[in-house]
Amino acid sequence: MEAELAAAYDRCRELHRRHGRTYYLATRLLPAWKRRHVHALYGFTRYADEIVDRTDALPPAERAARLDDWAGRFLAGLHGEPVDDPLLPAVLHTIAVFDLDRDDFASFLKSMAMDLSVTSYPSYAHLLDYMEGSAAAIGTMMLPVLESSDPAAAREPARQLGFAFQLTNFIRDVGEDLARGRTYLPDEDLDRFGVSRDDLAEASRRGRATPAIRALIAYEVRRAQAHYAAAAPGITLLAPASQACMRTAYALYGGILDEVAAQDYDVFARRAVVPRRRRLAVAARALLTPTGTPVVVPGPPLPRAVPAEPTLPRTAAS
């Protein structure tokens, strides 16, 4: 049993190391006993994402069946049934150790299922409904592992950080998502800037964004910054041993927006990546930052033509 559990944690750690370089680097700043639990939660979310996105050669019905089967094994494990799976024992152990809210996991799996049938979102409010499970729930399921001096006060910033991280990924990965048949930039925003899905596809094919697309991306960057600003107070509410980790993750994900801005908001020219030297410097600086120091909110300069900063819909801050 112990050997099986250790192997499951190793499997989760390897998934995290291979697919989540930014957050994996940040988790190395955590105490070892916390680290493996973060790997387990990342492994859970990544494996579900793999079923949805890395099996896209299969018909949607078969991918849905695979997700349902895996979710069924997970739910059976939550009810104490034996689980035959390479990583779920670690996830179930972490849930038990911290008494994590099962609703967060159900919400996450619901959003993963949406990716099999939903290809676009009419408005940002609709996208937020999706991100409640795919992003905010991850923030709240991580919070007990990271620990907080005031969990109730830290909950909303944790949700906001989930939104910020995922929107950053959506901004960076427009081309990759298009290749999977999905658009996460809201239709109402595309309409506002006179951009169609065909325009995005053509820009992806040519490797160059039009001025209208760059203005659209700049607008979404500003929206992501609003989520980062709402998340910032939560970092200092975390346990001292967790603050360096989350300062690093916060700065590095925000740094992706800096890279997007540096390439004039052309997310098709190249994939925005924070250079390795900068990642290491950010981690070192976080280690040296005194506990309780307020977090600097990321804010790359925006073109003058970009409309006023978007406000966060009520559903994002409720």
Give residue 50's pLDDT. 87
Give residue 298's pLDDT. 65
- Name the residue among 158, 294, 266, 249 with its Cα closest to residue 208: 266
- Name the residue among 243, 75, 228 with its Cα closest to residue 160: 228
Q: Are residues 155 and 122 in contact, defined by beta-carbon separation less than 8 angstroms?
A: no
Per-residue pLDDT of the chain (318 residues; tens, 9 = 90+): 788 999 999 999 999 999 888 889 999 999 999 999 999 999 999 999 888 876 667 888 888 999 999 999 999 999 999 998 999 999 999 999 999 999 999 999 999 999 999 999 999 999 999 999 999 999 999 999 999 999 999 999 999 999 999 999 999 999 999 999 999 999 999 999 999 999 999 999 999 999 999 999 999 999 999 999 999 999 999 999 999 999 999 999 999 999 999 999 999 999 999 998 999 999 999 999 999 999 987 665 444 444 445 555 544 433
Domains 1-117 and 120-318 share a fold: yes
Give residue 56's pLDDT. 67
Encode the chain in three state secondary structure: CHHHHHHHHHHHHHHHHHHCHHHHHHHCCCCHHHHHHHHHHHHHHHHHHHHHHCCCCCCHHHHHHHHHHHHHHHHHHHCCCCCCCCCHHHHHHHHHHHCCCHHHHHHHHHHHHHCCCCCCCCCHHHHHHHHHHHHHHHHHHHHHHHCECCHHHHHHHHHHHHHHHHHHHHHHCHHHHHHCCCCCCCHHHHHHCCCCHHHHHHHHHHCCCCHHHHHHHHHHHHHHHHHHHHHHHHHHHECHHHHHHHHHHHHHHHHHHHHHHHCCCCCCCCCCCCCHHHHHHHHHHHHHCCCCCCCCCCCCCCCCCCCCCCCCCHHHHC
Supply the pTM of this predicted model.
Answer: 0.91
Retrieve residue 194's tokens: 């006179």
The reply to whether CATH 1.10.600.10 applies to domain 120-318 is: yes
Where are the chain's structural domains? Answer: 1-117, 120-318
Give residue 52's pLDDT. 87
Tell me the CATH class for 1-117. Answer: mainly alpha
